[in-house]
Amino acid sequence: MHFLDQAKIFTRSGAGGPGAVSFRREKFIEYGGPDGGNGGKGGDVIFEAVAGLNTLIDFRYTQHFRAPRGAGGSGSNRTGGGGDDLVIKVPIGTQVLSEDKEEVLLDFTHAGQREVFLRGGDGGRGNASYKTSTNRTPRQHGTGWPYQEAWVWLRLKLLADAGLVGLPNAGKSTFINAVTNAQAKVGEYAFTTTRPQLGVVRHKQREFVVADIPGLIEGAADGAGIGDRFLGHIERCRVLLHLVDASDDDVGESYRIVREELAAYGGGLIEKPYVVALNKIDMLDDELIEILSAELAEASGVDVIPISGVSGVGVDWVLDRMIEAIGPESGKAVDDDGEEDAVEWSPV
């Protein structure tokens, strides 16, 4: 399935139906009077967050959404039928933005959340409602309230408890494959990961979701490499795991580059709790690991955990630190019978 996290769509609610101009005409009834019914209400445009979706790819092929209008009223004081509401189903984590992307109009954070975005127009009044003691045969009627319309952007921010950041080839995909049920592509070249990946970690009776995003390079905020657009998918994370490749020429500089790009992006990423890990230590001896860990600790100002995503060394230590940062209320516990609760999100 192709991954798409932004889409622009057009939405329009239904207009209200017109009221009717009608007069009662029955045999033996001398003064029938007006009996025109009101028009029906137009359909609303409603957004609903549903489980099982993790991409906006459907909106690449369908960009226009119009709710039906209300039916017109008729004689015998019959009100026109209302237009059916138009329900647009979106993945959990979707935001509805204004056309200029400056304002968040709706934010969907849990399954089943429904929000009326555009309200349908009310139906027009039939001539029966205009009857007065001095206006016994009114011929005026309401045409119905008009529809509402808007171009909006849909932006998907994946829901994850933890996010992986680092330079390209820092070993993020290898790590997420080792600790989750994801099947991220691994290759010996930069930008192997071209779209976000989600995986579910099960560790020490705990369960939480990890997001892997494409690597950042210097100047990503200005569009270098893949850019920093995918950083939006880790804005909701409780903790970030910063992986640094032990084979880099300067591990401290590698750390600073990524942190500067996070700061340039904004979104509160630089203030999030983070864990720093020196990855790929299986290629180094103990003395070099100690030297590089000290350099990285000096650059980051926090304790550094040496790990290897391939051999599994230090991985449990990292997961323990991530769970500590996530907190006891997040994640899902494993049942006593060993069965784990279902997870709404699955890897892309």
Whole-number average pLDDT of the chain: 86
Per-residue pLDDT for 131 more than 80? yes
Strand order in the sheet with 162-165: 197-203, 206-212, 162-165, 239-245, 274-279, 304-306
pTM above 0.85, yes or no: no
Q: What is the pLDDT of residue 340?
A: 39
Level-2 CATH architecture, domain 1-156: Distorted Sandwich (2.70)
Q: Taking residues 213-222, what's their average pLDDT?
A: 79
- Which residues are annotated as part of the binding site for GTP? 166-173, 212-215, 279-282, 308-310
Residues of the chain with CATH 2.70.210.12: 1-156
Per-residue pLDDT for 106 more than 90? yes
Q: What is the pLDDT of residues 299-310, one digit of tens each?
A: 999 999 999 988
- Which residues are annotated as part of the binding site for Mg(2+)? 173, 193
Per-residue pLDDT for 26 more than 70? yes
Q: What is the pLDDT of residues 30-39, one digit of tens each?
A: 778 899 999 9
Q: What is the pLDDT of residue 190?
A: 58
Looking at per-residue pLDDT, the higher value among 313 and 339 belongs to 313
Assigned fold of 162-326: Rossmann fold (3.40.50)
Q: What is the pLDDT of residue 335?
A: 42
Looking at per-residue pLDDT, the higher value among 52 and 144 belongs to 144
- Which residues are annotated as part of the binding site? 166-173, 193, 212-215, 279-282, 308-310
